[in-house]
A and B are shown apart, each in its own frame.
Chain A
Amino acid sequence: MAASMRPLLRRAIRYSHRNISVASAGVAGRSGCCRGPSTCRCFSDVAGDRSTHFGFETVPESEKAKKVYKVFENVAQKYDTMNDAMSLGIHRLWKDILLHVMHPQPGAQLLDVAGGTGDIAFRFLDYVRAQQERQKRRAARSMQTPSWADISNSYSSGDAVGPQESRAVVCDINKEMLRVGKQKADSMGISAGLSWVTGDAEELPFDDDLFDVYTIAFGIRNVTHIDQALQEALRVLKPGGRFMCLEFSKVTNPVLSRLYDEYSFKMIPVLGEVIAGDWKSYQYLVESIRKFPDQEEFQHMIEDAGFYCVKYHNFTGGVVALHSGFKL
């Protein structure tokens, strides 16, 4: 075991030395298309093709979506395990807090974009079910001695389900992630009120004014055109609907920031290689976090898209930020 680990670690250290330098974007010859950007850049300026960032690399916009797809296709099977390992399980707390801040009312319709393995959707359904139980219990307590009118009413309303049942739709561009999510749902026995849809966040396959809550957890930094994704979110939300985005963000405290950077660039790709056998994907992950705009800038982007009452909360010192806006 130790013997096989040593060459692994040696390769790991070699990679880490190359990739720590922030300034040298795209120098590491990790992926084949790295040679591409330099030539593509010349052609792209001439041809008018725009380029964007893929981690610290620069790639043509048309390519980014494909590369992101590859990344998540590779990591899908071990996605949840890696999440637990990288964040030491804290990601569960972040997602729980997201649900508590959301405080969905019974009957709410959720759209979870880039929902992949369905963490948010499962929590949403649990929360709403618990709320409905609580409401039923409260109603039952107040009706300990029902009158004849109440009893006859309860007989006649047996067919009516009552207010609309809450539903969660998980939408992801990556079929592998959805497949893993469906397996999880089957193993947990959750099937009612849950649907899995393949779709692109920049072009959602839904009608206008459908959903009460739109969430995107740790997905929006992978989207090529964030403003398009925000506009799509605005479109599919009902008036009064809420947009919530959980995403890695800038750490404000300098000491914590230093520790976080060290941890991100030194530990996470190593964990990726050891647990999931994929160094490059997790290198992309930590780089894409650095490329994402900070809390204030993202708040302005959300406001520009047309949302109101936009606020953000920092979790774990700014490692993760929850942005929330309303379609009014």
Chain B
Amino acid sequence: MAALLRGLRAGRALRGLSRVVGAPAAATPHSGLRGFHRAALRLQDESKSDKPPSSSSSSYHEHYQAHHEQDGAEAPRGDPTSDPAAEEASRPNTSFQDQGGEQDEEYETEEQLQARVLAAALDFVPLHGWSTEAIAAAAETLGLSSASTGMFDNGAGDLVLHFIAQCNSQLTEILAEQHNQVQLGQAEAKRTADFLRDAVETRLRMHIPYIQSWPQAMSILLLPHNIPDGLKHLSNLVDDMWYYAGDRSTDMNWYTKRAALTGIYNTTELVMLQDSSPDFQDTWNFLDNRIQDVVNMAATAKQAQATGETVVQGLMGAAVTLKNLTGLNQRR
């Protein structure tokens, strides 16, 4: 709806100042600078403003975009912890807030604002867990009232889904980058098993900063209203991994491969939750073993099929020989 994509203006200089002054924003609710804010929103760079936000609702969009924009994907798109303060300070504070002014108009949609709040909320997860308190604390650092958590109907679920979507898009970028390198001949192609192993490890390493509270996140994903979205993200992730591993199958293999990788990913994630070895070495060993299992099983299946065919041929030969011996084959 066009009405939703409205222009929101904020004074750069005052924002810059207020960022310095009001950093513990909860403690200074009456700072006069706040009064100047028509909307206490940080404005996005032009390079960001036309990028779709990595929210759960648009993850399909991103999923397919990733395949098409491999070279166009800029790093900040999926950047989880882009510090708003840093990017504010780097921009020159030249204009004051001017409600009717036309200069330096930068616009942000509601979805982009929500994405920013969720990205900031990830910083508060170690303290508050995956909950609306984390989102409220993040909203306050961005200069919004804690009541703005009402924008997120799903509360903690929105936060977890946003994080997962972000991790998935980061992984996709990394895999696309590796693919480019191989295309350009700057790197060697890995074997499928190694490629998948590295992809799963890279993806699971993104959980490490939040590993203490990850069980809570997983339980939130298992809530009935979150299960469809969680499964959607998981299936997209596994599909991406196989795609970049080079799978172009169009038969039953498509399903069996993804099912196998889903099983590997989920079990490794669970193992990681209770792993206390240095740098999660036990988890990566477990991952190696599981991938090896699948590889072995595939080889065994092929062998069994070949053996079966040979056995059948042998049996057929024995039967013909018997018939010859007993004279049943003669035609009188």
Contact = CB atoms under 8 A, between A and B. Distances in A.
Contact of A239 (B39, B110, B149, B150): B39
A104 B148 CA distance: 10
**Most chain A CB atoms below 10 A, which of B4, B35, B148, B155:** B148
Interface in B125-178: 132-133, 136, 139, 142-151, 155
A209 B35 contact: yes
Given A238-B145, A241-B145, A101 B150 contact: yes
A213 B39 CA distance: 16
Interface string A187-211: 0000000000000000000001100
A254 interface: no
By CB atoms of chain A within 10 A, which of B29, B132, B133 has the most?
Answer: B29
B159 to A, nearest CB: 14
A240 B117 CA distance: 11
A81 B323 CA distance: 102
A237 B40 CA distance: 12
A326 B40 contact: no
Contacts of A102: 147, 150
A324 B4 contact: no
A135 B133 CA distance: 10
B114 to A, nearest CB: 9
A157 B111 CA distance: 39
Contacts of B110: 308-309, 328
Contacts of A57: none
Interface in A95-121: 101-105, 107-108
A324 B153 CA distance: 12
B146 A105 contact: yes
Nearest to B136: A105
B153 to A, nearest CB: 9
A103 B199 CA distance: 40
A324 B34 contact: no
Contacts of B151: 309, 326
B151 to A, nearest CB: 5
Interface size class of A (residues with CB under 8 A): 20 to 34
Given A309-B110, A328-B8, A239 B145 contact: yes
A287 interface: no
A320 B266 CA distance: 45
Contacts of B144: 238-240, 328
Contacts of A101: 150
B257 interface: no
A101 to B, nearest CB: 7
A323 interface: no
Contact of A213 (B8, B132, B147): B147
A239 B42 CA distance: 12
A237 B39 CA distance: 11
A164 interface: yes
A163 interface: yes
B325 interface: no
B302 interface: no
A303 interface: yes
Contacts of A326: 147-148, 150-151
Interface string B77-116: 0000000000000000000000000000000001001000
B184 interface: no
Contacts of B203: none
Nearest to A238: B145
Nearest to B38: A239
Contacts of A328: 8, 39, 41, 110, 113, 144, 148
Contacts of B29: 164, 238
A242 interface: yes
Contacts of B34: 209, 238-239
Given A107-B146, A238-B144, A240-B139, 4 more contacts: A105-B147, A239-B40, A239-B41, A242-B148
Interface of A: 101-105, 107-108, 135, 163-164, 208-209, 212-213, 237-242, 303, 308-309, 324, 326-328
Interface of B: 3-4, 6, 8, 26, 29, 34-35, 37, 39-41, 110, 113, 132-133, 136, 139, 142-151, 155
20 contacts: A102-B147, A103-B149, A103-B155, A104-B146, A107-B146, A135-B133, A164-B26, A164-B29, A209-B35, A238-B34, A238-B144, A239-B39, A239-B40, A239-B41, A240-B144, A241-B147, A241-B148, A242-B145, A324-B150, A328-B8
